[in-house]
Copies of this chain bind each other. A is one copy, B any other.
Amino acid sequence: MDAHDRPPGSRLGRRNDPDRRDRIIDACLEVVAGSGVAGTSHRKVAARADVPLGAMTYYFDGMDDLLREAFTRFATSVSDRFERRMAEAPDVDAAREAVVAIILEDVFGDDRDLVLSHELYTLAAREPAYRAITAGWMARSRAALERHFDPDTARVLDALIEGLTITAPWTPRPATPARSSSRSDGSPRGSAAPTCRAAAGGRRHH
């Protein structure tokens, strides 16, 4: 789409595409979300980003480089959202509600983020290069939490958010847990909120 002023003979405007690198990174995230890191290849990403295969090795030094950059972008984006939500909370009560909202939204929200998080964690569990990304992500999350909670609580809260986000999709039902829709049986939404609210209220700051 939007092939506005493409020179007629050529495949694509050669020089007039400065954000192709960005498009490749985004396409890489989409492919990873859809097929996993295991199923991600230069060819699939190139096809999704609508760039020639040769551009892969031209812009990135191999798959690791691309994945590192893609997951850095992903972690930054999630981290930004988290930080913004925490910054918007005026007091401790609002911060607690924000934590609840984050959990509920990350849990029942898009599958994409959950899948990408797992893929990143898996990479980070093995390769130290990716651990820098997750470490930075966690540092920002914890710093954001420490605006409202004391460091120990922030540490535990961060871990709890992680754990609830990860385990929640498996508990409601074996089928796809994506959309809410299961409001009639109140188990997930009905139980998660009060429990994590209780946990968040454990110890407060100031």
Inter-chain contact B163/A166, CB cutoff 8 Å: yes
- The number of chain A residues with a CB under 8 A from chain B is 47
Query: Using a CB–CB distance below 8 Å, which chain A residues touch chain B?
Result: 36-38, 111, 114-115, 118-119, 121-122, 124-126, 128, 131-132, 134-135, 138, 152-153, 155-156, 158-164, 166-171, 174-176, 191, 194-196, 198-199, 202-203
Inter-chain contact B202/A125, CB cutoff 8 Å: no
Inter-chain contact B125/A114, CB cutoff 8 Å: yes
- In the bound assembly, the distance between CA atoms of A125 and B125 in angstroms comes to 16
Contact among B153, B162, B176, B198 with A163 in the assembled complex (CB-CB below 8 Å): B162
Which residues on B sit within 8 Å (CB–CB) of A115? 122, 125-126
Which residues on B sit within 8 Å (CB–CB) of A160? 156, 159-160, 163, 199
